[in-house]
């Protein structure tokens, strides 16, 4: 085990309580074992081997010595109160040990045993006893149901993962924080296999107390950490993670997260694994996006991209040059570029000319550059073509695809030339080479090397998109206007109340009039201007169209008066209170959009924007945004929807007034933030959006009251 | 090189002309080289090493001997006319060699040189000279721009790929057919790396004559071939490929294809690679699906799934059991299942009880089964849990996910138990293990082993879906009714003509009347029943709404008469011929769908079905089907659309009359097949679909004439 980096700073950056877990002076192991393949044996073995400078106290009443260290019969027998205690015993004994540790003033405990919160209500109750014991004295708990913690900067390895034997540690710039012990080990192992050094490998298990987010906050302050990888099965305290991400952006620390439980089946499995509550997928995506955290599928994807991030590459553009000795690999490289949000660089005439001097006449000098099987006859083609391309200003990134090489090819030279090229340009370069013999020289030369174009170009695309995301401006909103949800006892506000509230927050609403008599309706028909809509206004009938209480396209005052009477009669029959009948203007020739919002118990206000109409839930063409967000972010989200082509006008339509719609979304976001939990949900559907300059107008609105904030 | 299988049958199954390429008695190499790393040296080296039984004639005027064989000055000097000639010389010399071979009665030539059809019009013209020379005498041409052919069943290796040195050949049950030489080599190499034997590795390059499809047809008749892998950049002769696929299904030979050039950038690159014309992506997908060919992204995906296919597994269901020693891997396994179209098996109570007897109390006995880190303490958990699950009738397939193991784990036992389990159940089993030390014992035991759950479950999902696809019934249509496109000189038929044609083919059309006078319009208002639509009927104005020649929701006969006059006036002003004004019924409370069709120059009739309305092209919520297809296939395609939730009725809607709509689609398919190229395109939009029992009705229709068939 090699300790590359100084450990002194750890006391400076980390909160005191986390420091006793990550850099303890004294560690006790309750259930210490002589056998290094037992859970109680591994941490002692790892710490002794890993250069841990503190004191280790094995606790095992049946032994005199454990792994060469004096063994103690109990916590009480130790010469001092240890800062950190590893609890390897199971069941009730684990709970008792936690309580004992708390009583004796231990600062941190790691509980490795499983069989608590993840098993059901009874297990959750037992786990709560541990939480309570810790909270009572301020002792922090890691786990239960965890592989433990490992800090290769200090040698404090309070974990038992087999992986630290399989892939020997080396301190380095990466932190791995995970709810799952297995996944922390796997990411660590995958990184080590690629020769990447890892300092922090911590698993929080059931998170009876300390969460991944809290650890992330502490570890983001370790200035030597250049990349943070998270594995999550739920997001319990998004505010801590959000704060961490905001801080990480200020110091250019990329965070890449796996959030498993993407599907119904996966969420069910997660609840029996770490006892995680399900988060809604789209909200999780929106949360990560908002905070500049990149989400990937699995630990393999995390390990795959690490080297490119650690190179410090932060591409300023998304234009890719593809170079290959196979035409087919050029084709597939071009496909991969488009599929990963990259454009192909358009090479200048002078670049093409320079390339052409090296290549045979039948080769392609446009991008992708096919240097063809002629590489077999002339090993210099690489070294000649690369510098020619390097100077092209349209080239933000480079991808070299070598599907076939070997005997007869000077692969060492290709690798050397590529590394030189990379150093020369300072721009991202990725290589795809599946053959060991071809990949090895590139890997040895420090060039990020992948098995195929999907992976290589995927990582380049991720790097470009993540860099752009991390650079997005991020302004919190100020001067929020207080929200007064109208008084009332029911679950919903009436439509008239809701429209009034929206209007008072500057949101454009449909021209309408609340009428109590047929005469008022006749008058409203003229004021509002026909044709009109008649809608019964009752807080007790939120879904009025289902009861025939909406009449569209009413063409005359006479008809309106008749409908008024019949709607009022219907309300009387339904025995519901009401505020009258709304006469509202009809919107024609506009697009039906919608803005929805709800207060999520975990994430707080959540805003949905997209296509409106009756089938919003069925067709799901909407994006999720977490406030605060900008007009530009609304527009960018709209551009990602299936309805996006309509925004610019198709089939003779004028372009839509996207800005006006975005303003409605921003206003709803502000309203929801100010309202907090006092509004459970708010649905504006449809919001009719006209052509540019015509604005957007809320035609129908429903507000569901929440608990008081 | 090991020749496992007898080569005698090759003469039986292969057409004579392909046999002279794949199993020649005599081979000459024009441009033969002593250097085995030169293109002219490799084939001689490979054939001598590979046990080729025929005679090899090197042709090189400057040498007495090449690689120990007598060298000849020219083709004319040979003691006999060789069956197969490899032409290694370039440019005009290659063309002259082709012409010379044809003149002398050679049966097949392989042209390796590049610089022909892929370079532009001039190159295409030169290439055409070769094609012409071959056609004149019936000589078949492979290439130009190819790595050549390799038959490891006969040792006839008319190719120069470096990969045959890098990964030594072994005859086996796989055939690799590719337009690209690089990709044929890569798939071969990836398969050999996995220990899979490969018999055929053929690249057709620019396909001046022989295509991948033709080779596929021949090689599908090799009874020893159990898996066929294709790499295509375009599909030039779909009918041959379709015939091959149909035959392959009769003998349970799965075909897995890569079709590169999926994007605009990729298609552009393909045109400069093999000179391929772009195929439309959705049509390509529909073509593969129709013929039971599975499409994957790249050669890696082909190699990844090969072992599972070669096991002969053809799962009859899609229910998966996930087993892991990591809870997180259970979660990700469950996610992967859902994402790959698999369901999680619901284990019976007795299975769960049997599982529970082995596992610790906190482990999960429902599916996914989390055997937890307890595996570290008890290596028998695998052997105990697997048989318990094996008997469950709900288990179609098994996935074992081992993200972490190593020291302390008896991996050899896990692998042995898994292989036993596989043999016992006969059901598909896939393992994910990224650690070499963990994967190796499983690989040695013959269990398909992958790096992660995305790959493993992806392959299982593919196997289930591909098996279902290959088993889909496939009935050609008979008794097609002749189609008489109405006479006319313009590009389009009028709407009245088109509706009449549809009706004559049994397709339900909107109730309407073509009127010449205001009086007729008034009468039609009554007959058809108001409110009505008025539409000018002119073959010269196909997009009439753009000219204000459509009036919707006309409420009275008086208004209808007025509109009639104004539309007729407008037509006169536009100076276009017309057939009158159509008065048609309005359809209310129905869903707007569409059926489109066109005659594709490569694939023939193509039918599109999906959401209708003004924005079909912009929103693209449609599926592509190639006739013939069944009602069930239409319904299944509809279920894959974004509008699918609407089919069953949401928000209080009744379920849609999907069968009636499917019948329209089938009728359009029959009509298009019968019409052939005489109809260029046909758009039925909207087709209004009512609730079950209410049927579907074509409201608007446009027919574009094609060339005569």
User: Which range is least confidently modeled, A40-44, A260-264, A617-621, B193-197?
Assistant: A260-264
Closest CA to A316 of A457, A424, A466, A468: A468
Instruction: Identify which has the larger pLDDT, A263 or A558.
Output: A558
Q: What pLDDT score does A539 carry?
A: 93
Q: Provide the token pair at B596.
A: 């489109």
- Which has the minimum average pLDDT: A3-7, A41-45, B658-662? A3-7
**For every residue of A417-446, which 3-state class applies, written as one string?**
HHHHHHHHHCCCEEEECCCHHHHHHHHHCC
| Interchain contact, B403 vs A186, CB within 8 Å | yes
This prediction has a pTM of 0.92
Residue A625 belongs to what H/E stretch?
strand A622-625
What value does the mean pLDDT take over residues A58-87? 97
**Residue A13 predicted with pLDDT over 50:** no
| pLDDT confidence of residue A12 | 39
pLDDT tops 60 at residue B603: yes
Res A346 pLDDT > 90 = yes
Closest alpha carbon to A157 in A29, A22, A32: A22
Residue A414 has pLDDT above 60, yes or no: yes
Q: Are strands B26-30 and B55-59 parallel, antiparallel or unpaired?
A: parallel
Please identify among residues 457-516 of chain A the ones whose CB lies closer than 8 Å to any CB of chain B: none
User: Is residue A264 over pLDDT 90?
Assistant: no
What's residue A629's pLDDT?
95
CA gap B570, B332 in Å, rounded: 64
Is there a contact between B452 and A650 if contact means CB atoms under 8 Å apart? no
Q: How confident is the model at residue B375 (pLDDT cuts 50, 70, 90)?
A: confident
Q: Which pLDDT band, with edges at 50, 70 and 90, does A658 fall under?
A: very high
Among B334, B377, B651, the residue with its CB nearest the CB of A265 is B334
Within 8 A of A185 by CB-CB distance, chain B residues are: 403-404
- B 244-263 residues inside an 8 A Cβ radius of A: 260-263
Instruction: Report the interhelical angle of A121-137 vs A91-104 (nearest 10°).
Output: 10
Q: Which site among B207, B265, B639 would you substitute to test the A interface, given the most A Cβ atoms closer than 10 Å to its Cβ?
A: B265
Query: To the nearest whole angstrom, how far is the Cα of A185 from the nearest Cα of chain B?
Result: 7
Distance of CA B282 to the CA centre of its chain: 10
A166–B contact, CB cutoff 8 A = yes
Q: Cα–Cα distances in Å, from A256 out to A203, A294, B616? A: 16, 5, 38
Beta bridge partners of A174: A198, A227
Long-range contacts of B190-196 (CB under 8 A, 24+ apart): B190/A434, B190/B299, B190/B300, B190/B302, B190/B303, B191/B303, B191/B306, B192/B167, B192/B168, B193/B167, B193/B303, B194/B303, B194/B306, B194/B307, B195/B443, B196/B172, B196/B303, B196/B306, B196/B307, B196/B310
- Which residues of chain A are within 8 Å of residue B373 when distances are taken between CB atoms? 39, 114, 147, 181-182
**Helix H or strand E segment including B399:** strand B397-401
- In this prediction, residue B11 carries a pLDDT of 37
Write the pLDDT tens digit of every residue in A352-362: 998 888 877 76
CA distances from B389 to A42, A234, B318, B393 (A): 32, 29, 16, 9
pLDDT computed for residue A5 by the predictor:
38
A618/B650 touch (CB, cutoff 8 Å), yes or no: yes
Nearest CB to B332; choose among A179, A260, A338: A260
Search chain A and give the residue with CA nearest B368.
A269
Per-residue confidence (pLDDT) for residue A709, from 0 to 100:
45
CA pair distance B302, B231, nearest whole angstrom: 10
Per-residue pLDDT at B371? 84
The residues near A89 (Cβ < 8 Å, ≥ 6 apart) are: A30, A31, A97, A113
Q: How crowded is residue A681: how many other Cβ atoms within 10 Å of its Cβ?
A: 17
Distance from CA of B210 to the nearest CA of A (A): 19
Closest residue by Cα to residue B679 from B594, B599, B616: B599
pLDDT at B609: 97
How far is B405 from B376, CA to CA, in rounded Å? 8
Tens of pLDDT, residue by residue over B463-499, are: 999 999 999 877 789 899 999 999 888 899 999 999 9
- pLDDT-above-70 percentage for chain B: 96
Cβ atoms of residues B131 and B206 within 8 Å: no
Distance from CA of B258 to the nearest CA of A (A): 10
Q: Which residue's structure tokens are 């013939």?
A: B628
Flag whether residue B161 sits within 8 Å of chain A, measured between CB atoms: yes
pLDDT band at A473 (very low <50, low <70, confident <90, very high): confident
Integer Cα distance of B441 and A47 in angstroms: 31
Q: Could you report the per-residue pLDDT of B68-94, keeping only the tens digit for each?
A: 999 999 999 999 999 999 999 999 999
> What is the average pLDDT score of chain B?
91
Average pLDDT of A677-700? 95
Closest CA of chain B from A363, distance in Å: 8
Q: Once rounded to an integer, what is the mean pLDDT over residues B393-404?
A: 94
pLDDT at A332 over 70: yes
Angle between the B327-339 and B453-471 helix axes, to the nearest 10 degrees? 30
d(CA B114, CA A277): 60
Rounded to whole angstroms, the Cα distance separating A382 from B509 reads 64
**CA A244 → CA A18, A151, A249, A254, A287, distances in Å?**
15, 20, 9, 11, 13
User: What is residue A275's predicted lDDT score, i.e. its pLDDT?
Assistant: 63
Beta bridge partners of A596: A608, A683
Alpha-carbon distances, residue A192 vs A5, B406, B441 (angstroms): 17, 15, 22
Local confidence band at A708 (pLDDT 50, 70, 90 cut-offs): low
If pLDDT is split at 50, 70 and 90, which confidence band does B274 have? low
| Closest-approach residue (CA) in chain B for A323 | B269
CB contact under 8 A, A268 and B454: no
Which chain B residue has the Cα nearest residue A372?
Answer: B114
Per-residue pLDDT, A16? 55
- Name the average pLDDT for chain A: 91
CB B610 within 8 A of CB B595: no
Q: What is the tens place of the pLDDT at every residue in B547-567?
A: 889 999 898 999 999 999 999
pLDDT band at B1 (very low <50, low <70, confident <90, very high): very low
Q: Which residues of B touch A114 (CB under 8 A)?
A: 360, 362, 372-373
> Smallest Cβ distance to B651: which of A338, A403, A615?
A615
Q: Quick: pLDDT tens for B149-179.
A: 999 999 999 999 989 999 999 999 999 999 9
Residue A661, pLDDT above cutoff 60: yes
pLDDT in tens, A506-543: 999 999 999 999 999 999 999 999 899 999 999 999 88
Over range A630-634, report the average pLDDT. Answer: 95
The alpha-helical segments, DSSP class H, found in A120-237 are 121-137, 163-166, 181-193, 212-219
In this predicted complex, what is the ipTM? 0.90
Burial A336-362, CB ≥16 within 10 A → b, else e: bbbbbebbbbebeeebbebbeebbbeb
> What are the pLDDT digits (tens) for A601-610?
899 999 999 9
Q: Is the pLDDT of residue A274 over 70?
A: no
Give the pLDDT band of residue A273 (cuts 50, 70, 90).
Answer: low
Residue A261's Cβ-count burial label (10 Å; 0-12, 13-18, 19+) is: buried
pLDDT at B362: 66
* Res. A6: pLDDT tops 50: no
H-type helices in A359-511, by residue range? 381-390, 411-425, 436-444, 453-471, 495-504
CB contact (8 A) between residue A189 and residue B300: no
In eight-state DSSP terms, residue B626 is -
Query: How far B150 CA lies from chain A's nearest CA (Å)?
Result: 16
Residue pLDDT, tens place only, B276-310: 666 788 999 999 999 999 999 999 999 999 999 99
d(CA A83, CA B561): 94
Mutate to test the interface with B, among A332, A554, A651 (most CBs of B within 10 A): A332
pLDDT of residue B509: 97
Write the pLDDT tens digit of every residue in A279-322.
788 999 999 999 999 999 999 999 999 999 999 999 999 999 99
Backbone angles phi, psi at B525, to 5 degrees: -55, -40
Please state, in angstroms and rounded to a whole number, the distance separating the CA atoms of residues B526 and B257. Answer: 58
Q: pLDDT tens-digit profile of B309-348?
A: 999 999 999 999 999 988 899 999 999 999 999 999 999 9
- pLDDT higher than 70, residue A554: yes
């Amino acid at each position: 085990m090699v300790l590359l980096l100084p450990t002194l700073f750890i006391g400076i950056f980390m909160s005191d309580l986390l420091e006793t877990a990550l850099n303890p002076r004294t560690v006790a192991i309750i259930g210490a074992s002589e056998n290094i393949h037992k859970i109680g044996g591994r941490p002692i073995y790892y710490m002794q081997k890993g250069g841990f400078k503190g004191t280790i106290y094995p606790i095992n009443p049946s032994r005199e010595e454990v792994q060469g260290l004096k063994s103690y019969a109990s916590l009480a027998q130790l010469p001092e109160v240890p800062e950190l205690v590893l609890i390897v015993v199971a069941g009730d004994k684990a709970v008792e040990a936690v309580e004992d540790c708390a009583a004796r003033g231990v600062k941190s405990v790691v509980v490795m045993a499983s069989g608590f919160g993840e098993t059901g209500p009874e297990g959750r109750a037992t786990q709560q006893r541990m939480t309570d014991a810790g909270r009572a004295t301020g002792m922090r708990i890691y786990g239960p149901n965890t592989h433990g913690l490992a800090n290769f900067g200090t040698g404090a390895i309070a974990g038992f993962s087999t992986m630290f034997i399989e892939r020997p540690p080396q301190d380095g710039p990466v932190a791995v924080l995970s709810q799952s012990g297995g996944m922390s080990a796997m990411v660590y192992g995958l990184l080590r296999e690629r020769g990447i050094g890892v300092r922090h490998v911590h698993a929080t298990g059931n998170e009876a107390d300390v969460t991944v987010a809290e650890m992330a906050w502490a570890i983001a302050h370790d200035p030597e950490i250049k990349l943070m990888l998270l594995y999550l099965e739920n997001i319990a305290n998004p505010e801590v993670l959000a704060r961490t991400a905001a801080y990480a952006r200020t110091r250019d620390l990329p965070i890449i997260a796996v959030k498993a439980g993407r599907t119904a089946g996966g969420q069910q499995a997660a609840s029996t694994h770490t006892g995680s509550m399900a988060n809604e997928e789209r909200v999780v995506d929106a949360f990560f996006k908002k905070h500049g955290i990149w989400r990937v599928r699995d630990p393999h994807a995390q390990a795959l991209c690490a080297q490119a991030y650690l190179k410090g590459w932060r591409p300023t553009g998304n234009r890719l040059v593809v170079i290959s000795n196979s035409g087919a690999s050029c084709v597939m490289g071009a496909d991969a570029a488009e599929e990963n949000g990259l454009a192909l660089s358009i090479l200048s005439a002078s670049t093409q000319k320079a390339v052409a001097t090296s290549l045979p006449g039948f080769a392609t000098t446009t991008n992708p550059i096919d240097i063809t099987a002629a590489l077999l006859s002339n090993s210099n083609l690489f070294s000649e073509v690369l510098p020619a391309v390097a100077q092209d200003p349209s080239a933000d990134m480079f991808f070299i695809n070598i599907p076939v090489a070997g005997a007869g090819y000077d692969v060492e030279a290709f690798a050397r030339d590529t590394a030189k090229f990379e150093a020369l340009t300072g721009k991202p370069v990725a290589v795809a080479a599946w053959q060991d013999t071809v990949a090895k020289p590139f890997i040895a030369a420090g060039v990020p090397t992948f098995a195929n174009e999907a992976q290589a170009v995927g990582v380049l695309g991720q790097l470009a998109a993540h860099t752009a995301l991390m650079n997005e401006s991020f302004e919190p909103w100020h001067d929020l206007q207080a929200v007064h949800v109208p008084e009332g006892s029911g679950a919903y506000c009436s439509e008239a109340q809701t429209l009034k509230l929206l209007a008072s927050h500057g949101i454009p609403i449909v021209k309408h009039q609340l009428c109590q008599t047929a005469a008022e309706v006749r008058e409203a028909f003229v004021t509002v201007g026909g044709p009109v809509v008649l809608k019964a206004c009752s807080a007790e009938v939120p879904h009025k169209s289902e009861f025939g209480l909406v009449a569209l396209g009413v063409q005359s005052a006479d008809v309106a008066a008749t409908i008024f009477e019949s709607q009022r009669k219907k309300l009387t029959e339904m025995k519901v209170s009401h505020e009258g009948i709304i006469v509202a203007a009809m919107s024609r020739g506009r697009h039906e959009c919608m803005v929805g919002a709800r207060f999520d118990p975990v994430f707080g206000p959540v805003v949905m924007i997209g296509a409106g109409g009756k089938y919003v839930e069925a067709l799901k063409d909407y994006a999720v945004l977490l406030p605060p967000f900008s007009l530009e972010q609304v527009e960018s989200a709209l551009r990602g929807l299936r309805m996006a082509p309509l925004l610019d006008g198709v089939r003779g339509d004028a372009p839509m007034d996207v800005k006006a719609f975005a303003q409605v979304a921003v206003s709803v976001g502000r309203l929801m933030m100010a309202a907090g939990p006092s509004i459970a949900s708010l649905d504006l559907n449809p919001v009719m959006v006209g052509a540019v300059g015509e604005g957007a107008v809320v035609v129908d609105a429903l507000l569901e009251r929440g608990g008081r904030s």
